């Protein structure tokens, strides 16, 4: 009976982390997104590609099969539907994924061709901070080769476990925990996080309890509001009241650097309030916000999206054209409904 190592949080990432301790050169912008059902095939491809290409170098076929079954398509889809799977994009290519179950980090994979560039460390760092938003302890399963690396990251071994595969292989692993060194966040203020600038931009749903003030400040710095009904606070509160889930923010660490709102009336989809902080423009943030809004509208069976742009804003017109939008021969009309 042979004894091998089980990597609950991904043996590949564990080895990658060991290499990354020597190479922290991931300065490319990495965008993190909450995976949608339309991302299922992408997540499955990352998981299965990594297992099939890397694991046979370290494990017999029976163990490789165990990992594939452990991360079966139905499990991936269930986690996506539960909203706990994240995908990470570098230069418009999704290169990694990670899953959070409460306080546990799991199913963390980085495509083999992107290892050794610092992406694995950046992803783990972000996932840990997301767990620390609501928990004092983060938990994961560690293989023996990754044990020392996780100790360096602040984890402590809490228990030792074994699993016997159908083929009789025994896989051993530690369950490890890491305590949050900072106070938990409350509902009135954003979390205090390590500086993740130049590492990961996370696109997530707008949180009215923590994001309102920062979003108002961003909009005031980007948009030239000239009418009372366009006041940011009013627009935000009205959108939140609709509760359609079509309001997203882009975060660089604990800083909100971008927003987008979408709407759908059953006939056409609309895009509103796409904004990116001036000093972080031209890094792909606006494009990724648009991709998330479009994906959400597509899930609602929307077949066409409209948007409006001031005729003097030629720069943004070119931006939308690059995303596939076209200027249509229409006359935009509006009517302000006054309260009686």
Q: How many CA atoms lie within 13 A of 245 on its CB side?
A: 10
157 and 227 assigned to the same domain: no
Length of the chain equals: 340
Helical H segments across the chain, by residue range: 11-20, 40-54, 61-70, 73-81, 119-131, 147-152, 212-222, 232-242, 285-299, 314-322
- If asked whether residues 268 and 300 sit together in one domain, one would say yes
Which residues are CB-neighbours of 139 under 8 A, at least 6 positions away? 103, 104, 105, 175, 176, 177, 178
Average pLDDT over residues 52-64: 86
pLDDT in tens, 296-315: 898 899 999 999 998 888 88
**pLDDT mean across residues, the chain:** 82
| Cβ neighbours, 10 Å, residue 52 | 13
Query: pTM for this structure?
Result: 0.65
Residues 163 and 238 in one domain: no
Q: Taking 90 as the threshold, does the pLDDT of residue 105 lie above it? A: yes
Residue 119 lies in a domain: yes
Q: What is the largest CA-CA distance in the chain?
A: 81
Domain match, 283 and 246 both = yes
Question: Of the segments 73-82, 124-133, 171-180, which one has the largest average pLDDT value?
Answer: 73-82
For residue 205, give the H/E element and its range.
strand 200-205
CATH at residue 46: 3.40.630.30
Helix axes 11-20, 40-54, angle to 10 degrees: 80
| Domain span including residue 236 | 203-322
Asked whether residue 236 is assigned to any structural domain, the reply reads yes
Looking at the structure, do residues 74 and 223 belong to the same domain, yes or no? no
Residue 260 lies in a domain: yes
Structural domain tally of the chain?
2
pLDDT at 308: 93
The terminus-to-terminus CA distance of the chain in angstroms comes to 81
Q: What percent of the chain has pLDDT over 90?
A: 46
Same domain, 171 and 217: no
Q: Give the strand pairing for 269-276 and 255-264.
A: antiparallel
Nearest to 8 by CA among 144, 153, 151, 149: 144
């Amino acid at each position: 009976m042979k004894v091998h190592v089980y990597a609950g949080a991904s043996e590949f990432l564990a080895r990658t982390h060991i290499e990354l301790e020597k190479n922290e050169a991931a300065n490319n912008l990495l965008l993190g997104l909450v995976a949608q059902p339309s991302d299922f095939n992408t997540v499955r491809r990352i998981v299965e590609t990594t297992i099939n290409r890397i694991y046979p170098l370290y494990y017999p076929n029976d163990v490789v099969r165990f990992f594939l079954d452990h991360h079966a398509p139905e499990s991936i889809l269930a986690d996506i539907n539960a909203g706990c799977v994240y995908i990470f994009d570098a230069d418009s290519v999704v290169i990694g994924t990670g899953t959070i179950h409460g306080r546990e980090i799991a199913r963390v994979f980085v495509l083999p061709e992107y290892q050794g560039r610092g992406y694995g460390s950046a992803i783990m760092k972000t996932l840990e901070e997301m767990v620390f938003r609501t928990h004092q302890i983060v938990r994961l399963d560690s293989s023996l080769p990754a044990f020392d690396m996780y100790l360096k990251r602040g984890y402590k071994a809490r228990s030792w476990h074994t699993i016997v595969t159908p083929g009789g292989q025994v896989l051993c692993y530690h369950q490890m925990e890491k305590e949050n060194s900072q106070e938990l966040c409350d509902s009135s203020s954003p979390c205090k996080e390590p500086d993740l600038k130049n590492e990961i931009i996370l696109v997530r749903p707008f949180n009215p309890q923590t994001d309102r003030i920062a979003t108002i400040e961003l909009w005031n710095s980007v948009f030239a509001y000239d009418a009372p009904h366009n006041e940011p606070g009013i627009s935000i509160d009205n959108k939140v009241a609709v509760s359609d889930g079509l309001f997203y923010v882009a975060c660089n660490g604990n800083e909100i650097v971008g927003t987008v709102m979408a709407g759908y009336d059953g006939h056409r989809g609309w895009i509103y309030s796409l904004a990116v902080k001036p000093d972080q423009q031209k890094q792909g943030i606006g494009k990724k916000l648009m991709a998330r809004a479009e994906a959400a509208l597509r899930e609602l069976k929307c077949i066409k999206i409209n948007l409006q742009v001031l005729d003097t804003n030629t720069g943004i017109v070119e931006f939308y054209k690059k995303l596939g939008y076209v200027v249509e021969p229409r006359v935009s009309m509006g009517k302000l409904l006054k309260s009686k």
